[in-house]
A and B are shown apart, each in its own frame.
Chain A
Amino acid sequence: MSSTLLEVKDLQTYFFTDRGTVKAVDGVSFDVEKGETLGIVGESGSGKSVTAASIMQLVPSPPGDIVGGEINFKDENLLDLKMKRIRKIRGNEISMIFQEPMTSLNPVYTIGEQISEVLRLHQGLNKDEALEKSIDMLEKVGIPSPEERVHEHPHQLSGGMRQRVMIAMALACNPELLIADEPTTALDVTIQAQILELMDELRDEFNTSIILITHNLGVIAEVADKVAVMYGGRIVEQTDTVTLYKDPEHPYTAGLIKSIPKIEGSEGKLKPIKGTVPDPLNFPNGCKFANRCNYAEEKCWAEEPDLEEVKPDHYVRCWRWKELDLKNESEVK
């Protein structure tokens, strides 16, 4: 891991609605190295998808707007670039796959037409070359008889197949960064595993960096090198995957790990995190997790903690990380 491919610095993406300003992403920073997989975990509404959309500048505007920060990709700040340059990067150097394979492909064009489209746009291939490359890509993502499939329409394919097609399309131009926004959430568990494995293989083959966005810690454990845990538009904990599971410092992270259903152990009950995410229009002044935290004390309600470095490359946003021993907590039962 030598060179940094993407550096997000203090990103702020707000939504200006009639009811008030929603700070969907508020001061998020992280790096992605070449060939590395970063996992971003969080509940719905934590700002993880908006973070991804911000990198691609696909935040619907209005009402959304990136109001601050930097997104440095290689040697350019994406936020300073003209739309024309952004379009050259999209689908070519950074590409994205979405949660819903069933609806992410255009129903009125064939698979081949849709993959060819990126190739012709960014690599200037002609129709035949693009089709041939599309067939290659389909083969790479494990679609059987790609010569025939390439002429089929999305409705003729299963959900897992469609997500493979999305991946083929995203990787067609050999991008340096792939952003996968909940790529396996809508799929069956067995297909999930296959898709994750596929992404892992392709990362090794193409040396693509991946940002994997999910609410599922199990998915992160399988493929990510490091993890950022998001809550209420902020990163609350960030470290490498192994440390995160073994030694979480933030009560929210510990809660997420505890809420993963386990087969071993005597008790059959799930351990959810109580309560829900606070109203984003009306975030509390203090720590945003305070209302759901078992360890919250006066200070947590009054003032929001900063992201602190616990150990090299392990950051946590909690007033009480020094006192709490969450490691044991998470392993009991």
Chain B
Amino acid sequence: MLGYILRKTLMVVPILIGIATITFLLNFVFVPGDPVRISMGQHADPETIEMIRAEMGLDDPLIVQYGRFIGGLFKGDFGKSFTTRQPVLDMVLERFPATAKLALAATIISIVLGVSAGIVSAVKSNSFLDYFFMTFSMLGISMPVYWLGLVLIVVFSLNLDLLPAGGYGSGSLRYLILPAFALGFRQAAKVARMTRSSMLEVIDKDYVKTARAKGLSEQIVVIKHALKNALIPVITVIGTQLGYLLGGAVLTESVFSWPGLGRLAVNAVLKRDFPLIQGTVIFLAACFVLVNLLVDLSYGLLDPRIRYD
């Protein structure tokens, strides 16, 4: 088990180097536009531009720039932002709490709504409730998150005046509710569908019949004996989503002016702030890999047949 964690953790290093390389190449080779020109505006004089380019190291051959970038990563140096001149890592870490809060809140909502709707749908499959939840979740998957966000703002902020329409509100819970719901609803829809299909697979298993024959109540049969066996695919979906959300929910953050990583990344792209783009992407990748590792480890807790050696 410990060896497995260690090996998996070590595997993260080549994955991150690979991702860093790809983002680096994408930035410098495929993205049109000169970051200096963009930050200086159209009328900057060529000499100043040249000077800044040299200062930023943009004149060096690509391979030198690449070496500097990767070498820096090993020292925990993600470089400095072209636009703000701040260390990228500081900027990312500053935004991360807001993103993490939104991601966790959305995930909790998706687990509570999604898992319960999925269980009910599976247990009462082909009933009215099942059709209701599944239609609803189809809607949830199909509905763009910015549209749902706008509808929530119109209803709860403009019309009912219950909750703020956007902003961070220095961390107040009231500001979290709408964006978390907008984001969580969609995730809940996916979780519900996965829970339903996974539960349907186990609900007719012999051991569920055995549990009933023991005289256990239907709730215990479903939750203790069926759900635990159905949980692995569900956890996988939830984990993948959480990993993804930790890198910032671009659309939701934009609609609700949420000061998270997603907006930071979008602004970085717009300004061709290459170090910041690389920093956010690598950070996202690291979150993703870490959550996946945790998901992997949870399999062993759920199913004793899964061994790590």
Contacts and interface: CB of A to CB of B under 8 A. Distances in A.
Interface of A: 56, 58, 86-92, 95-96, 98, 100, 103-108, 110, 117-118, 121-122, 153, 155, 166, 169
Given A56-B213, A92-B215, 20 more contacts: A58-B209, A58-B213, A87-B216, A90-B214, A90-B215, A95-B213, A103-B206, A104-B207, A104-B210, A105-B207, A106-B229, A107-B229, A107-B303, A107-B304, A108-B302, A118-B214, A153-B304, A153-B305, A169-B210, A169-B214
B214 A108 contact: no
Contacts of A106: 207, 210-211, 225, 229
A100 B206 contact: yes
Main secondary structure of the interface of B (DSSP, over half): helix
Give the 5 A-B CB pairs with smallest separation, nearest first: A90-B215, A91-B214, A91-B215, A106-B207, A103-B206
A258 to B, nearest CB: 33
Nearest to A87: B215
Contacts of A96: 213
B217 interface: yes
Given A103-B205, A104-B207, A108-B228, A90 B213 contact: yes
B305 A121 contact: no
Contact of B206 (A98, A117, A121): A98
Contacts of B213: 56, 58, 90-91, 95-96, 98
Best-buried of B209, B214, B228, B305 by chain A (most CB within 10 Å): B214
A104 B206 contact: yes
Contacts of B205: 103
Given A107-B229, A153-B305, A88 B210 contact: no
Contacts, number: 67
Given A106-B229, A153-B304, A88 B214 contact: no
Contacts of A121: 214-216
A218 to B, nearest CB: 24
B209 A107 contact: no
Interface centre among B205, B210, B216, B303 (most CB of A within 10 A): B210
Nearest to A122: B215
Contacts of B229: 106-108
A107 B210 CA distance: 12
Interface string B293-308: 0000000001111000
Residue picked from B207, B228, B229, B305, most chain A C-beta under 10 Å: B207
Contacts of A153: 304-305
A218 B247 CA distance: 66
Contacts of B211: 106
B95 interface: no
B53 interface: no
A155 B304 contact: yes
